[in-house]
C-alpha cells in the first residue's frame, strides 16, 4: 500500500470514529424537526433574555442526519470540537507513522569521493639511517602555498557533505530529500571553489615547486625528483558525486526469490539507520552545548572564564543545521532543537553580559546544562 493510500485509509478510519462518536454520545435534541426531504433541521424557536430580547435556542448543538441514501455520500456533520480533534489526531498519528517507516520517501543517499595530491615523499636516506620504519618528507609544509590552499578547498567539500547529512555507511551519507536543492547548489559552489584552487595551483606549479625546493635546501633533503609535473598534479585532484535512492525493504524484484528473512534483515538495517540518525543529531547538538555549559560555569574572573564569541555562535549554527539534518523528524527531537534556538537566541546578541554579569552567566550555564540533560535522555 502506498503512502497516499495509507493516509486515505487512516482518514477514513478517523471519519468512522467520528460517526461512532455521534451514534454513542450525541442525543438528538427532541426539539429537532425534519424538512420535506427527511433531513433534520435545528429548532428555530427562540427565547428571551433578561432584557426581553429574543435569542436563538442554544440547545441544538448538532444536526442529526436521518437520510438513508444507498450511495456513498459522506455526510460527516460537525459534531463538536472533541470529535474533530479526535479525527485530526488519528490522521496526524497515521501520517507520522508512515513518514518514519518510509525512509526512502524522505531521504536519499549521497556519495562524494575525493582524490587529492599527497604532499609526502619517502626519504630513502633518512629511512635507512632511522632503521625502524619509513621517514617521510613533508613537501609544501605550512599554509602559505597553493598546494595547501587546494587541499583546504577539497576539505571544504568534505565538510559541507558531513555537516548536512547523517552517516549511512563508509563513504555514503543520508541526505534529507527536502534539502536536496540547497545542499546540491552549495556542493556545486564548493566543488567549483576546489576546481579553481587546483587550476591556480597548476598554472603556478613551477613557482610553488621552486619555492618549496628552496625551503628544503638548507636541510639537505631538497630533491626536484620528489615533485610531480604540472600535468601530473592536475590528475592527482578530482571529485566524484553520486546520488542514489534509499532502498526499500519490499523493493526486491519478486522474480529473484528473496527470502522473507532477507527482507526483514534490510528493514532492521533501515530502522537502525533511523535510530542512528537521531543519535547523530543529538550528539552534534550536545558537543557545543556541553562546552558552553562548562565554560559558563567558571565564575567571572577565575582562570578559564574568558571565552570567544564562537562559544555561543557554534550553538546557534548547530541548531539551525541539525534542524535541516533531522531525518527522523522525531517531534521530541524537533522540540528540543526549537528549545535550543529559543534559549541561545536570548544570549546570541548579549555575549558581553555573559562576560560581565555573574547572574546572567550563571543562569545561562544552568539553562544550557538542563537542556543538555533533556537531550541526553533521548539517546
Distance CA 128, CA 168 (A): 43
- For 158-169, what is the mean pLDDT? 94
pLDDT mean across residues, the chain = 79
Ranking 5-19, 28-42, 113-127, 130-144 by mean pLDDT, the lowest is 28-42
pLDDT for 29 equals: 45
Q: Is the pLDDT of residue 189 over 90?
A: yes
User: Does residue 332 or residue 8 have the better pLDDT?
Assistant: 332
Q: What is the pLDDT of residues 245-261, one digit of tens each?
A: 998 877 766 677 777 77
- Residue 292: is its pLDDT beyond 90? yes
- CA angle at 295 for the pair 289 and 352, rounded to the nearest 5°: 95
Domain ranges of the chain: 3-101, 106-245, 258-376
The pTM of this model reads 0.65
4-14: average pLDDT: 49
Q: Which three cell numbers stand for residue 199?
A: 587550476
Domain 258-376 has CATH 1.20.120: yes
Sequence-ordered strand ranges (E) for 79-196: 107-115, 120-122, 136-138, 166-169, 172-176
Across-strand partners of 241? 112
Residue 379 pLDDT grade (very low, low, confident, very high; cuts 50, 70, 90): confident
Backbone angles phi, psi at 146, to 5 degrees: -75, -25
DSSP letter for each residue of 7-32:
HHHHHHHHHHHHHHHHHHHPPPPTT-
Q: Is the pLDDT of residue 21 over 60?
A: no
Amino acid at each position: 500500500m502506498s503512502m497516499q493510500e495509507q493516509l486515505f485509509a487512516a482518514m477514513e478510519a478517523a471519519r468512522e470514529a467520528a460517526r461512532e462518536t455521534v451514534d454513542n454520545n450525541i442525543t438528538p435534541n427532541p426539539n429537532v424537526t425534519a424538512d420535506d426531504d427527511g433531513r433534520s433541521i435545528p429548532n428555530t424557536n427562540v427565547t428571551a433574555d433578561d432584557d426581553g430580547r429574543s435569542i436563538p435556542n442554544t440547545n441544538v448543538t448538532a444536526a442529526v442526519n436521518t437520510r438513508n441514501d444507498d450511495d456513498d455520500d459522506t455526510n460527516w456533520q460537525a459534531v463538536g470540537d472533541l470529535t474533530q480533534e479526535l479525527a485530526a489526531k488519528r490522521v496526524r498519528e497515521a501520517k507520522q507513522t508512515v513518514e518514519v517507516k518510509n525512509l526512502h520517501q524522505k531521504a536519499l543517499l549521497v556519495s562524494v569521493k575525493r582524490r587529492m595530491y599527497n604532499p609526502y615523499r619517502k626519504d630513502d636516506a633518512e629511512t635507512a639511517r632511522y632503521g625502524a620504519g619509513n621517514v617521510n618528507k613533508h613537501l609544501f609544509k605550512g599554509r602559505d602555498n597553493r598546494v595547501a590552499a587546494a587541499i583546504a578547498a577539497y576539505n571544504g567539500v568534505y565538510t559541507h557533505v558531513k555537516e548536512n547529512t547523517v552517516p549511512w555507511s563508509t563513504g555514503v551519507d543520508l541526505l534529507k530529500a527536502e534539502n536536496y536543492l540547497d545542499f546540491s547548489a552549495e556542493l556545486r559552489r564548493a566543488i567549483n571553489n576546489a576546481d579553481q584552487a587546483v587550476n591556480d595551483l597548476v598554472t603556478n606549479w613551477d613557482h610553488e615547486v621552486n619555492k618549496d625546493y628552496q625551503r628544503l635546501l638548507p636541510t639537505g633533503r631538497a630533491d626536484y625528483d620528489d615533485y610531480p609535473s604540472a600535468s601530473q598534479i592536475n590528475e592527482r585532484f578530482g571529485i566524484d558525486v553520486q546520488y542514489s535512492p534509499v532502498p526499500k525493504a519490499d523493493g526486491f524484484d519478486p522474480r529473484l526469490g528473496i527470502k522473507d528473512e532477507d527482507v526483514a534483515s534490510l528493514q532492521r538495517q533501515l530502522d537502525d539507520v533511523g535510530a542512528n540518525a537521531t543519535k547523530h543529531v543529538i550528539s552534534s547538538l550536545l558537543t557545543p552545548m556541553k562546552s558552553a555549559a562548562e565554560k559558563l560555569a567558571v565564575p567571572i574572573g577565575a582562570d578559564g572564564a574568558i571565552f570567544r564569541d564562537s562559544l555561543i555562535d557554534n550553538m546557534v549554527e548547530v541548531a539551525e543545521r541539525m534542524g535541516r539534518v533531522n531525518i527522523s523528524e522525531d517531534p521530541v527531537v524537533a522540540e528540543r532543537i526549537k528549545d535550543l534556538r529559543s534559549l541561545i537566541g536570548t544570549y546570541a546578541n548579549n555575549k558581553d553580559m555573559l562576560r560581565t554579569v555573574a547572574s546572567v552567566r550563571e543562569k545561562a550555564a544552568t539553562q544550557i546544562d538542563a537542556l543538555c540533560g533533556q537531550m541526553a535522555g533521548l539517546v
